Copies of this chain bind each other. A is one copy, B any other.
Amino acid sequence: MSNTLGKLFTVTGFGESHGPCVGVIVDGCPAGLPLSAADIQKDVDLRRAGFSPASTPRHEKDKVEILSGVFNGRTTGAPICLLIENEDVDDADYEKIKDLLRPGHADFTAHVKYGGFNDARGGGMFSGRITAGFVMVGAIAKKILSTIGVETLAHTVSIGGIAAKSVSYEQVRQRAIKDSLFCADAAASAKMLAAIDAVKKQGDSLGGIIEGVALDVPVGLGEPLFDTLDGDLAKALLAIPAVKGVEFGAGFAAARKKGSENNDAFALKNGKIVTTTNNAGGILGGISNGMPLVVRVAIKPTSSIALEQSTVDIKKMKQTTIKVTGRHDACIVPRAVPVVSAMMAVVLCDFALRAGLISRVLK
């Protein structure tokens, strides 16, 4: 186990899907930041089941509690413990399949690593539910970043192979938040919804691609050789269950280009140095270059499907089949969107503190 992320702004997660709660400790938050449970609740609600038609019917209130680190409506500089109690836990579905390894899940690897002592109900700490904690800390990170004018956004750019058309970041900001799939292209979103609906009826699932964008990032965030901005972002994003790939700017497409096509020319704009294109995705040499930071993550299709799959009964060590019933999202892409922007904010906040750009006391 290693449940702490970050160097100056650190996140320690805890909790399991079917345990008493999920939560997070945020350490290194500057003192003086106005903060209420409501500030955080807003972001958590975006991730909550039921927001989108694609999501599971597990309806939880997901009520954010602040257990420490806030006094008189402001952060104190002490570690902030944030908690969401699990209210709507149903072990029945789990009991039926508890010895069957669900394909695509961590059941097998967790069983071996923890000698069968892991809490496997609902995936335990490997459940997507743990990301509610990521969103909580992300809400704080976003508030901190706003003090230096940095904003993080995320939106769905494809689901099941259906791609949204490219729009400006201003349009992303305005439209994605209103769309049930967090997609800024309404026409594509409608097609994605239809596709999700279709696979749902088949007992199947879909994946997709989420794009995260950070705007007005100052030049100079990132600490090469090893704590590069892209490296630490990739690590943080891969902590989101179901992410199988991360690319920056042109990403894998860059591998097919010539240098003359892929290099971003430098130019002057209002006395500032910019690049005329952004194939680098805002990062050069592991350091932010002031252009929009652009990252895309590949989300695999939901592993829990109702269709029959081959598997192994780990107790009997016998081959068998499994149908994963219970409440599952046919596509978790929309629910992961707020998590992507949250994790970006967390990493950027850490680097901004490391670069000395954020005061330890915010007034």
Q: What residues of B have a CB within 8 angstroms of the CB of A112 in the complex?
A: 219-220
Residues of B within 8 A of A10 (CB): 4
Find out whether the CB atom of B67 lies under 8 angstroms from the CB atom of A309: no
Is A267 a contact of B312 with CB atoms below 8 Å? yes
Q: Which chain A residues in 319-363 approach chain B with CB under 8 Å?
A: 319, 353-356, 358-361, 363
Judge whether A212 is part of the interface by a CB distance below 8 angstroms: no
Give 17 A-B pairs besides A15-B67, A110-B287 with Cβ atoms closer than 8 angstroms. A4-B10, A12-B27, A14-B69, A14-B78, A20-B68, A103-B275, A117-B361, A158-B255, A205-B260, A228-B235, A228-B238, A241-B285, A244-B255, A245-B245, A257-B301, A268-B319, A271-B317
Which 6 A-B residue pairs are closest in the complex by CB-CB distance? Answer: A106-B285, A245-B247, A115-B361, A205-B259, A2-B227, A77-B114
Chain A residues bordering chain B, tally (CB within 8 A): 149
CB of A230 to closest CB in B, whole Å:
5
How far is the CB of A125 from the nearest CB of chain B, in Å?
4
How many chain copies does the complex carry? 4
A32 proximal to B (CB < 8 A): yes
Q: How far is the CB of A350 from chain B (nearest CB, A)?
A: 11
A56 at the interface (CB under 8 A from B): no
Q: Tell me whether A118 and B12 are in contact in the complex, defined as CB-CB below 8 angstroms, given that A67-B19, A235-B226 are known contacts.
A: no
Known: A79-B1, A266-B311, A287-B109. A119 touches B71 (CB 8 A): yes
Query: With a CB–CB cut-off of 8 A, which chain B residues contact A247?
Result: 244-247, 252, 298
| Across-interface contacts of A118 in B (CB, < 8 A) | 31, 71, 76-78
Instruction: Decide if A50 is an interface residue (CB 8 Å cutoff).
Output: no
B8, B117, B258: the one contacting A76 at CB < 8 Å is: B117
* B contact residues around A183 at 8 Å (CB): none
Q: How far is the CB of A85 from chain B (nearest CB, A)?
A: 9
Q: How close is A21's CB to chain B, nearest CB, in angstroms?
A: 6
Q: Is A53 an interface residue (CB 8 A)?
A: no
The stretch of A40-48, A145-153, A169-177, A276-284 in contact with B is A276-284
| Nearest CB in chain B: distance from A351 CB, A | 10
Bound: A4/B309 CA distance, A: 43
Is A36 in contact with chain B by the CB < 8 A criterion?
A: no
Q: Does A138 contact B (CB under 8 A)?
A: no
- Jot down 18 A-B pairs with beta carbons below 8 A, ordered by A: A1-B28, A4-B4, A12-B27, A12-B79, A13-B225, A14-B68, A16-B68, A32-B115, A74-B117, A114-B361, A125-B225, A158-B256, A161-B255, A207-B254, A231-B235, A231-B236, A245-B254, A255-B300
- Determine the chain B residues whose CB is within 8 A of the CB of A305 once the complex forms: 259-260, 263
In the bound complex, CA of A267 to CA of B105 (Å):
14
> Quick one: closest B residue to A309, CB to CB?
B265
What are the residues of chain B within 8 A of A106 when measuring CB–CB? 224, 284-287
Contacts of A285 in B (CB 8 A): 105-106, 109-110, 126, 241
